[in-house]
Structure formats: C-alpha cells, structure tokens
Structure 1
C-alpha cells in the first residue's frame, strides 16, 4: 500500500468519526452587590436603647425614693408625682388650670419664635450674601449673643414693663441670634460650583437665590431654629420665674415656695413634654423639607 493510499484512508476515518460536542458555556453569575460601609451610628434605630435608658432612670428613681435614704420631701416617688399630676390636671394649681399655665407659655414662645424667624432668616441670608450687611449686623449680634438672657431681663422690664411685651422681647432676642448665625453659615457653606453652574446656564439673581442659595442653606436654618427653640424654652421658664402670674415656670416657682417637690416634678415633666414635642415637630419638618440631609 502506497503512502498516498494510507493518507486517504486516514482522512476518510477522520471524516467518519463523530465530532465531539462543545462543552456547555458556564451560566452567568449574578453580580455581587457590595454594601457601603456605614459611618457613625449608621442607619440602625436607637429607639430601643433610648426606651431602655428611660426605664432604667425611672427604676433608679423609684429605688432611691423607696430606700428611705432621701426624704420624700426632697425626692418623692413616681407614684406620688403621678397622683399630684392628676390633681393638678383636675383642679389646677396656683390659681389657674394646667392648660392655662401651658397655653400662657406656648403663646409667649410661639409669638417670639415667629418674630425671630421672620426677622432672623432674611437678615442671616443677607449677611451671608452681602459684606456690608455682615459688617453692620455682625457686631451687635456678636456682642449680645454670648450674654445670658437673664442678664438683660431687668433692662427689658425697665423699658417695657412687667407685662407680656418684655417677656416676648426677651425671648425674641434669645432666639434671634442662633437663627441669624445659622442662616449666614448656610449661605457661606454653599459650594461655588453650584453657583457657577447656575450662572453658566443663564440663571437670574432670583433664580439663583430661590433654586440654589435657599435650598442649600435650609438645613442649617432648620438646625438653627431647633437650637433657638431650646434656648427659648430655657429663657421662658427663667423669665416666668421672675415676673409672671401664669405659665409653667410660674407654677414651678410657686410650688418651690411651699416645698411641694412633687408639683415641681410635674412642672418639669410638662416642660420636657413640650420641648420634646417641639423637637419632634422640627425633625419631621426637616425630613420633609430637606430629605437629602445627611445622605450625600
């Protein structure tokens, strides 16, 4: 058999042999999602920890009060405070009902907050946008802002009398400075890239202010309002301790004159509930107006 015949036979056998099937392609794997590492407290809720802490404080208060080491005159039990709270709620205290005391305090702080917000936000924004405005308003604000409000309460009484006008003016001054400074800080923290981008797109001055400046400064403004309300509550109670016939602070002071510690605890609890309600309202307002805060 010649070499050519052998080659032909080999080729014929190769053609008749079965072709091996190709291996199946591997199934595509799903992309692996990597969660970004959280920073700080992250997204976990702290409600459980807060409730447990509050329960622990109440339990400690109850244990110390029942131990007999401290007289009930100075530290009443929670049950005694609840009994006095029920009595005040039904019969009132210091010649007024509980609602009359609370409504008097709320009227004062809400009136002063409205005035401080209406004046403080525009002035703060103007100070952040204009150097002349900053030069004019910065000196008096920085002068009186570190002073305790009670330091100029006597001056308010001398000028405006002992009525509601002096209290509202005192509260307005106490809340005005934090709002102004926060609005100014919000404008100064505005990135110049946003301003330049808006100007390059042909934005007018009003469009620049309404679409860029105000939304960027809004988180700082809301934070300033929260701080101002906290300062206002402290100032309000102190003002009512000195010159008032209605209000939560007046109720606390009247109870302290008669060593009614349980009634003092009730007044403190009412103040805490009102302050917590204000703080929660501001948190809800922040989540609605600036949902992007803390997410970028």
Structure 2
C-alpha cells in the first residue's frame, strides 16, 4: 500500500474520532510540531543540540565497537584457539538484552556519557564480531591453498585472500550494527541526562505530548536512513567486486 494512502487513512481516522489524538495524533499535526521544534527547539534547547548529542553517542559507541568487533571477529575466525577462549563468554552475553544491563551500567559507570556509549558499544560489538567471524569462515579453502602454493606468507594470505573474502559480511555487520545502535539509543538515554533524541521521546511521553514523541521518533528514523545509505554507499565502493558478479 502506498505510504500516501496510509497517511491519508491515518489522518482521516484521527479527524473523525476513530482514534484519540493523544494516542495517535494526525500526520498534519505531527508535521506542524516538527516544523515548530526545528525552529524553536525542545525544552528550551535547539533540536540540533539534541540531535548532535545522540549522534555523538551513537558514533562513539559504533566506531569503538566496529574496531574491536572486526579485530576480534578476524581473530576468532582465523585462529581456533582464540575462538575456543572467547566462545563461551560471547555466547553467554549475546542473548542478554541491553535493557537488562542498564542497572549494572548505572552502578558501574554512573549516569554520565560513559554508560550510554558503553551500552551501544556492547550491543554493536557482538553483531560486528559475529558477522566478521562468519565472513572469515566463508573464505573458500581452495583460495587459501592456491595462495599457499604460490608461496604466499600467512600475512599475505590474510591480507589478500581472507580479509577481502570477509569484507562483504563485515560491511553487512556494520550496517546491521548501526541500525541496532540507533534502536537502543532511547535505551541508552534512559540512563539519565537532559539532551538527546531519546531524552526528547521519553520526556515528551512522560507529559503525554504525543506530537513531540512522534517528532523524536521521526528524527531517529531519519538518522537511521541517512546512516544506512551512507554505509551502503561505502559498501559499494569497498566491496566493489560484488557488483560485478
């Protein structure tokens, strides 16, 4: 169904009273609030300050998780000893949702920026690590044997055979990880503070300002769209040979 049809049906349902506006405001009301928030900010602060705070947290957690996740994933995929050492800890923490760790993160790191960034880092790290490990293991053994027969050193095999073979799944892991980072942004900002899009959503919901809740959600969605398109663009250039298959 066309998005325009959905929006029209949504608008009509709200206008004729099928749905209470406090629960589901009309798209036109959300749009007006969106414009008002862009020009006048939220809670006395420019909305771009909230956006900047959220972006900074997501990028800090995501970049750190990407670096460590790729490094650990490459080591786990290539060396069985590393995988054996990390297998049990990784499998134990992997099913634990980030929300379940919020009390511990508050206890250990307080309610400042560190706990927010680490919550994002924790979740993204697991995603990137597992995708990277899977990419390394997907490298065809025939390619490795062919490189060995040509006298390639282990470092050359890793650099020119294994890593390129793993790159498609690494990039997939980064895209999924970025989406997950934004998905738990609100959860990370449950740890306190007075800025960020998660704060906007939570604060507005506490006071039943549903229009502002939708504005925060739309802004998070737009950040997700922009980041995904950017990573997709990067993936097409880094893994350029995939387009030629």
TM-score (norm 2): 0.96
Distance 1:131 1:95 in 2: 55
4+ aligned runs moved over 3 Å, structure 1: none
Task: State the Cα distance separating 1:259 from its structure 2 match.
Answer: 1.0
For 2:22 and 2:122, locate their aligned partners in 1 and report how far apart those are by CA, in whole Å. Answer: 38
Query: 1:219 maps to which residue?
Result: 168
Task: Give the Cα separation in 2 of the matches to 1:186 and 1:53.
Answer: 37
1:126 matched to 2:75: yes
* Structure 1 segments unaligned to the other structure (5+ residues): 1-51
CA separation in 2, counterparts of 1:80 and 1:175? 35
Note if 1:148 corresponds to 2:97: yes
Distance, in Å, in 1 between the alignment partners of 2:172 and 2:243 is 13
- Correspondence for 1:137: 86
Q: Per residue, is there more helix in 1 or in 2?
A: 2
Shift of 1:242: 4.2
Residue 163 of structure 1 pairs with residue 163 of structure 2 = no
What residue in structure 2 maps to residue 112 of structure 1?
61
Q: In structure 1, what is the equivalent of residue 32 of structure 2?
A: 83
Q: Distance in 1 between matches of 2:123 and 2:175?
A: 13
* Distance (Å, rounded) in 1 between the aligned partners of 2:221 and 2:21: 22
Distance in 2, Cα, partners of 1:54 & 1:69: 20
Distance 1:254 1:213 in 2: 48
Q: 1:230 aligns with which of 161, 164, 179?
A: 179
Residues 219-276 of structure 1: CA distance to partner in whole angstroms, max 9, x if unpaired?
0111111111121112111121342211101001111122111111111100100011
Deviation at 1:210, TM superposition (A): 1.1
2-structure distance, mates of 1:209, 1:56: 52
How many equivalent residue pairs?
245
CA distance in 2, matches of 1:288, 1:243: 39
**Aligned counterpart in structure 2 of residue 195 of structure 1, from 122, 144, 148:** 144
What is the CA–CA distance in structure 1 between the aligned matches of 2:190 and 2:13, rounded to whole Å?
29
Contact 2:54 / 2:197 at 8 angstroms: preserved in 1?
yes
Q: CA deviation at 1:54?
A: 2.2
Q: Distance in 2 between matches of 1:234 and 1:65?
A: 27
Q: Structure 2: which 5+ residue stretches go unaligned?
A: none
The structure having more radius of gyration, on CA atoms, is 1
| Residue aligning to 1:270 | 219
Equivalent residue, structure 1, for 2:234: 285
Map residues 27-66 of structure 1 onto 2, 5 A cutoff. Answer: 53-66=2-15
Name the CA distance, whole Å, in 2 between partners of 1:292 and 1:60.
44
| Structure of greater relative contact order (alpha carbons < 8 Å, 6+ residues apart) | 2
